[in-house]
Structure 1
Amino acid sequence: MTPNSRSAAIAHARRRPTAVAALACLLSGLQGAALAQSAADATLDTVVVTGSTRERKLTEVPYAITAVGAEALRNSGPMVNLSESLARVPGLVVANRNNYAQDLQISSRGFGARAGFGVRGLRLYADGIPASMPDGQGQVAHFDLAGAERVEVLRGPFSALYGNSSGGVIALFSKPVRERQFEVGADVGSFGLRQGRVSIAAPLDDGFDVSASLSSLSIDGFRPQSGADRQLANARLGWKGDHDRVTVTVSDQNQTADDPLGLTRAQFTANPDQTTPESAQYGTRKVIRQTQAGASWAHQFTDAGPLARTQLTGYTGSRGVMQFLAIPPTTQANVRHGGGLVDFDRQYHGADARALWHWDAVDLTTGVNVEKQTDDRRGYNNYTGTAAAPTALGVQGTLRRNELNRADTREAYAQADWALATDWQASLGVRSGRVRMRVQDYYLGNGDDSGALTYRYTNPVAGLRWRASSALTLHAAASRGHESPTLGELAYRPDGTSGFNTDLQAQTSRQFELGAKWRESGLALDATVFRIDTDQEIGVATNAGGRSSFRNVGRTERYGAELGAGWRVVPGLRAQLALTLLHAQYADAFVTCTGVPCTLTAATNTTTVPAGNRIAGTQPASAYAELAWSAPWSADAEAAVEWRAQGRTAVNDTNTDHAGGYGLFNLRYSHRWIVDEAGTLQLLARLDNVAGRRVAGSVIVNDANGRYFEPGAPRSALVSLRYLRRF
């Protein structure tokens, strides 16, 4: 991507409206929180409310949940991607594409594995503001990890309490303002990584507090055409009275990124550091602009009988994206094609109102929630001139698509935690709602793709917890889940004709979980076994020429086991382990396309995916292990070795190729110096992939061009410095 083309793309994106009204920082309640202690004790006595009605110790909730604290986030890398730190969460796979033009590939117990871009099948939150849209698609690139106090990951049945497309929940919570402080930081790493940060936080008079941060990232990347720039700004204003708490947040993200695309098997084997020629030929790239704001008002009652607290929250935001794809002009000559340049502007907002009721043995939360997104979506040719004789590639050409896409949800929910006896607790909940998808097509030269669909769902969930002893807690949970298709998955019909994909149904699931939690003598163990049966699984029907269509492929089954462990072996020496075993397969056979043209109803370019094939994008096993040592002469210095491993990944439904499994070793060293009574200096040094192994960091599932493989980074180094001063 040339400097001129990048500047033009930025200028075009910034012409989009950026005004955003204030409203929402959806706090705790069902979206939860964790009150972390010191890093050494966080795994032993963490307090959470995610999936619960109020704060409870992790051992007191009947479901699998993990909280990753600020210290772990800081020690894991430059705090740019969740893939740095969430490998330590069992049941979760966060694959780094090493491609800033595409979001991370995140799956929880196999949910979300089909996503070719963005995040599907999981609910995402940043300080209570959804990073998942009503149609189920989400992004996490705007998460401010440097300002986070913790990231919570909820897996299993209780995720259903978050509504549609909730195969798991990832929620980030920013640090509360406790003292006046100023922090400045710098990161320098391999492949041209440069990042600077500055933040400030201060309690004010009359119950007010304020915090703000600004960061700027640039990276060249280890492959040609893989550089990126990102600016991220966040501000928070809080007020606390005798019975009220008000919080207002605002964030803004601007990012430009080149897209090196995936590699074919032959390309990956020959040289994983290369970029496919089409990337440079078409100047593949993406420009993102996102601004959002939120507000929350919580009121505590003292004389309203069982009514203990109410909370009203809301949010609003806008997101603009321009993405230049590597689609040949001859392919775009098809009258039905939407062009090689994607350009959309999204406006989204929502509100949540809830009440917490308390009786002697029962806590009850009731509430209603509304969300809406509107996408002004356009497509253009990525060339000028004619398809037979283009005069320029990788530029904005003729309009080929013009639609207004809408999605909205209306939901009501209730959840009760009931203390049956001293050592027994039951949790019951239900969330019922509907999501409506609508498309109004204003470009009719290639047929009318207008249409509308409504999906309705009721997700019940039940859990039971038994405190078997002071150290051991057992739990069981079950739920019904629902995942509707996204607007993108409804855009095209598998038979190639015009019109909304009205045949595509939502997938439903039944989830079951049994777990045990042990806490004693510096040892924390969390073990879970689970089973998930899904009906009408959504899968790829056709994928060619920049157009993907989807269909329901029948039943799937997922089952497996998870183990999380933290152990303070001796003073100064601690170990951590996360292990996941996952069996994820199609239970029914179905027909899929292997080439073009293909309509699924003809024998040309089709094949049958047999029952028993592994679900594309999933792995049979993944693991993380860490051994960290603090020197006896300095508790502020720590050295650690990390090991990350993953089984091989099926790249397509036919299972004809796989990304190989791997194990990678990383080294890190951190040190904190007390400069004076008000200032501290922190150092982090990391060496990742010490052996320099070349592996596929992630895969693009069912890619029509066979460019499945996104290379993982070779050996890389990072040095980070942070100076914190209290005033």
Structure 2
Amino acid sequence: MRRPRRLVLAPLALAAAAAAAQQPLQTVVITGSPRAQQAIDAPYAISVVDADTLRDAGPMINLSEVMARVPGLVVNNRNNYAQDLQISARGFGARAAFGVRGLRIYADGIPATMPDGQGQVAHLDLAGAERIEVLRGPFSALYGNSSGGVIALFTAPVRRNEAEAALDAGSFGLRQARVGIAAKLGEALDVRANAGVVDSDGFRPQSAAHRTLGNVRLGWKGERDSLVLLASDHRQRAQDPLGLTRAQLDADARSTTPQALQFDTRKTIAQTQAGLQWRHRFGGGAPDEAGLRESTLMVYEGRRAVTQWLAIAPATQAPPRHGGGVVDFERDYRGIEGRLAGRIGGADAVVGVNAESQDDDRRGYENFLRDGKGQPLGFIGLLRRDERNRADTREGFAQASVPFGEAWALSAGVRSGRVVLRADDRYLSNGNDSGRLEYRYTNPVLGLRWTVRPGWVLHAGAARGYESPTLGELAYRSDSAGGFNDRLKGQSSRQLELGSKLRGRGLELDAVVFGIDTRDEIGVLTNAGGRSSFQNTGRTRRHGAELALGWQIDTTWKLQLAAHALRARYRDGFLTCSGVPCTAPTLPVAAGNRIAGAPAGGVHTELAWRPAALPGEFALEWRALGRTPVNDANTEFAGGYALVNLRWSHRVAVGAADTLELLARIDNAADRRHAGSVIVNDANGRFYEPGAPRSVLASVRWRHTF
């Protein structure tokens, strides 16, 4: 029997441990709701990936290992540690050539999405997670700017004293070692700490990587108050093999474009952050007690430093306005959020405010030396860019859920705020590129839940969402002239969702249909020479369906299925650039074209067998992804593909205090050649990032309780 969970803070979600304890056999979620509730009662599409699923999916390095099990969410592994994963939810985020756009990502309540809307996931500690909640659809708008979906990771609290050590070894030089400890330090204090190191040679030349990651969670719990201190440190250096053209991919999917070797393209990352959560309970804390129930305060601060060497020819950097071939920035970011929760007139309600800011000290350098000896490439040369960028967000939010009758419940919420984006140019010899833009938004959400009968719920939701441009998307004007891209507007969307959730007799079935209309969609105009410029492309429409099935067939067989279909198209025609330089767009994109980077659909199926006569669990996994347009003109597509994975896992007790976990995987067992992800609208035609060929993983994990 699953133990009751001690829940952790997430924005607009109160960790009501008492409520969770009342339903220990049900999956409990807190994302998108004023309080903890069973997943079946949430009036929106939400999926939960638990710790056991994470551990069986792979070495727990990348979200792409496990997120195919979530319908509507696409997480593609670029197989390139110098670039983050390619993540989209119902088409939001598909335009990102690097980093994450259009989605909100949280780790124990601390945003991994910056105030300007750009996020990253490489520092998430999957090995220490208790679960990951994924929210799609209208209620994600309650998380403010750039919230086309929400991915929230929750670290496992300390329930007992234990230590863990793990080793992973796999194809292409993959090696990982991890250690962790969780301990109760008396009646009120507890600590959890994890550290790991990863090395990979990669299956392509110029794709090796080294990463270290450490996380600490220190908790204190009093009679009415609790404190949680979170700290993490992430260091990474990685080579960048770049994308391939269609001809290169077809000729040799394990190759690397020559420019990557010529310029020694690579990236280093150093990120350290800390956060403190204070929670105070009022009254007796009973779930149905009227009045103020609790207050929560979260503060966090961090620093992220990145240096990246790009493959840009010296001649391309010759124009005085070019920012160089080496990107170097240091980012300081911080935030504070406070909220009050309670029960008013039979309704669970929460209100709060938050403020976030980021300061980027951004520099650009030539990636060659002017030493009179042939311009050696791949080094830090002369300064070509020096500016200070800043993003500030101020928001207020409120949400309430009220039942009426015996079978109905209404949920409503709103989040309103503004984001201010600034650039202060300090390199003025090539002109002043300073600028400032302010965006305001109000996102209302309304949801309705009808319990048809015990175990069967229908739900509907509607919302207005908003996404501002990021600082990087405002950095360059579309006409190649200098200055802030002050013509770029934020995109707004209207979303509708209808769904059904069914539970009973070993079956869990969720089905959703949705429609999304967007105005002023932000799209890529040019992407070449280290410069990406963006424009508003008019109206778009996304609609589709999602299905999630879990079926415990009998004591030995279990089936899981996640499937989605997406039709994401431009409703208005527009002009884009066919190459660079581009002083004016001339290439027509027809109304009805598919949005680049958004696959037409996908399926993940897993059939697991746990025979009584054999040790462990055997599983067959099958994943398919539809064709993906790589540019808005729809002149090229990454072909659809299907992959077969094999898995064996076994957990065995060794004495009274020790547990040994064994995992063996063969991924892409048929050695299928495919494009694992795409670089949207790349002007060089290097759209394709190859997926991994057949690979083998063996893992040994030891746990000791004390």
Structure-1 residue corresponding to 2:293: 308
Structure-1 residue corresponding to 2:622: 643
**Map 1:325-474 → 2, pairs under 5 A:** 325-385=310-370, 390-474=374-458
- Does residue 628 in structure 1 map to residue 612 in structure 2? no
Question: How big is each residue's C-alpha offset from its partner over 1:514-540, in whole Å with a ceiling of 9 and x where there is no partner?
Answer: 000000100100000000000000011
The question of whether the paired residues in 1 share the 8 Å contact of 2:15 and 2:35 is answered with no
Question: How big is each residue's C-alpha offset from its partner over 1:156-185, in whole Å with a ceiling of 9 and x where there is no partner?
Answer: 000000000000000100111000000000
Structure-1 residue corresponding to 2:37: 56
Structure-2 residue corresponding to 1:11: none
- Does residue 687 in structure 1 map to residue 666 in structure 2? yes
- Does residue 575 in structure 1 map to residue 559 in structure 2? yes
Deviates more, 1:246-255 or 1:299-308: 299-308
Displacement of 1:422? 1.6
Picking from 653, 656, 661, the partner of 1:674 is: 653
Picking from 691, 701, 705, the partner of 1:722 is: 701
The question of whether the paired residues in 2 share the 8 Å contact of 1:684 and 1:720 is answered with yes
Distance 1:418 1:595 in 2: 55
Normalised by the length of structure 2, the TM-score is 0.96
Normalised by the length of structure 1, the TM-score is 0.94
Displacement of 1:637? 1.2
Distance 1:29 1:453 in 2: 26
The question of whether the paired residues in 2 share the 8 Å contact of 1:65 and 1:154 is answered with yes
Displacement of 1:632? 1.7
The question of whether the paired residues in 2 share the 8 Å contact of 1:33 and 1:152 is answered with no
Distance 1:50 1:597 in 2: 45
Displacement of 1:542? 2.0
- Does residue 171 in structure 1 map to residue 152 in structure 2? yes
One-letter amino acid matched to 1:583: R
Structure-2 residue corresponding to 1:12: none
The question of whether the paired residues in 1 share the 8 Å contact of 2:76 and 2:85 is answered with yes
Distance 2:455 2:200 in 1: 47
The DSSP-based 3-state class of the residue aligned with 2:157 is: coil
Moved over 6 A (4+): 32-35
The question of whether the paired residues in 1 share the 8 Å contact of 2:449 and 2:458 is answered with yes
Question: How big is each residue's C-alpha offset from its partner over 1:191-249, in whole Å with a ceiling of 9 and x where there is no partner?
Answer: 00000000000111141001101100000000000000000001111001111110001
Distance 1:33 1:514, change over 3 A: farther
Structure-1 residue corresponding to 2:588: 608
Task: Give the gaps of 5 or more residues in structure 2.
Answer: 1-6, 18-22
Displacement of 1:28? 3.2
The question of whether the paired residues in 1 share the 8 Å contact of 2:526 and 2:682 is answered with no
The question of whether the paired residues in 2 share the 8 Å contact of 1:34 and 1:47 is answered with no
- Does residue 185 in structure 1 map to residue 166 in structure 2? yes
Distance 2:290 2:343 in 1: 9
The DSSP-based 3-state class of the residue aligned with 1:505 is: coil
The DSSP-based 3-state class of the residue aligned with 1:246 is: strand
The DSSP-based 3-state class of the residue aligned with 1:278 is: helix
Distance 1:224 1:427 in 2: 52
The DSSP-based 3-state class of the residue aligned with 2:267 is: strand
Q: How many residues align?
A: 694
Distance 1:287 1:31 in 2: 35
Picking from 662, 672, 684, the partner of 1:705 is: 684
Picking from 493, 498, 509, the partner of 1:509 is: 493
Picking from 86, 89, 92, the partner of 1:111 is: 92
Distance 1:637 1:272 in 2: 35
Distance 2:456 2:477 in 1: 52
Structure-1 residue corresponding to 2:102: 121
One-letter amino acid matched to 2:262: Q
Distance 1:476 1:217 in 2: 44
One-letter amino acid matched to 1:632: A
Displacement of 1:31? 4.9
One-letter amino acid matched to 1:591: L
Distance 2:283 2:370 in 1: 72
The question of whether the paired residues in 2 share the 8 Å contact of 1:299 and 1:310 is answered with yes
The DSSP-based 3-state class of the residue aligned with 2:581 is: coil
Displacement of 1:390? 4.0
Task: Give the gaps of 5 or more residues in structure 1.
Answer: 1-24, 36-40
**Map 1:15-94 → 2, pairs under 5 A:** 27-31=9-13, 45-94=26-75
Distance 1:63 1:461 in 2: 11
The question of whether the paired residues in 2 share the 8 Å contact of 1:33 and 1:48 is answered with no
The question of whether the paired residues in 1 share the 8 Å contact of 2:8 and 2:154 is answered with no
The question of whether the paired residues in 1 share the 8 Å contact of 2:13 and 2:34 is answered with no
Distance 2:366 2:476 in 1: 18
The question of whether the paired residues in 1 share the 8 Å contact of 2:571 and 2:592 is answered with yes
Structure-2 residue corresponding to 1:527: 511
Displacement of 1:595? 1.5
The question of whether the paired residues in 2 share the 8 Å contact of 1:336 and 1:446 is answered with yes
Picking from 293, 317, 321, the partner of 2:306 is: 321
Distance 2:148 2:16 in 1: 20
The question of whether the paired residues in 2 share the 8 Å contact of 1:221 and 1:227 is answered with yes
Distance 1:261 1:128 in 2: 33
Displacement of 1:305? 6.2
The DSSP-based 3-state class of the residue aligned with 1:100 is: coil
Distance 2:498 2:441 in 1: 25
- Does residue 255 in structure 1 map to residue 239 in structure 2? no
Displacement of 1:359? 3.0
The question of whether the paired residues in 2 share the 8 Å contact of 1:29 and 1:52 is answered with no
Structure-1 residue corresponding to 2:137: 156
Displacement of 1:420? 1.3
The question of whether the paired residues in 2 share the 8 Å contact of 1:33 and 1:50 is answered with no
The DSSP-based 3-state class of the residue aligned with 2:60 is: coil
Displacement of 1:631? 1.6
The DSSP-based 3-state class of the residue aligned with 1:45 is: coil
Structure-1 residue corresponding to 2:569: 585
Distance 1:344 1:148 in 2: 30
Displacement of 1:499? 0.9
One-letter amino acid matched to 2:49: V
- Does residue 268 in structure 1 map to residue 268 in structure 2? no
Structure-1 residue corresponding to 2:219: 238
The question of whether the paired residues in 2 share the 8 Å contact of 1:354 and 1:367 is answered with yes
Question: How big is each residue's C-alpha offset from its partner over 1:316-355, in whole Å with a ceiling of 9 and x where there is no partner?
Answer: 0000000000000000001110000000000000000000
The percent identity for this pair of structures is 60
Structure-1 residue corresponding to 2:578: 594
Distance 1:319 1:676 in 2: 44
Displacement of 1:45? 2.5
The question of whether the paired residues in 2 share the 8 Å contact of 1:123 and 1:132 is answered with yes
Distance 1:494 1:28, change over 3 A: closer
Displacement of 1:471? 2.2
Displacement of 1:543? 2.2
Distance 1:554 1:33, change over 3 A: farther
Distance 2:581 2:336 in 1: 45
The question of whether the paired residues in 2 share the 8 Å contact of 1:34 and 1:46 is answered with no
Displacement of 1:26? 7.8
The DSSP-based 3-state class of the residue aligned with 1:509 is: strand
Distance 1:474 1:90, change over 3 A: same
- Does residue 135 in structure 1 map to residue 122 in structure 2? no
One-letter amino acid matched to 1:167: G
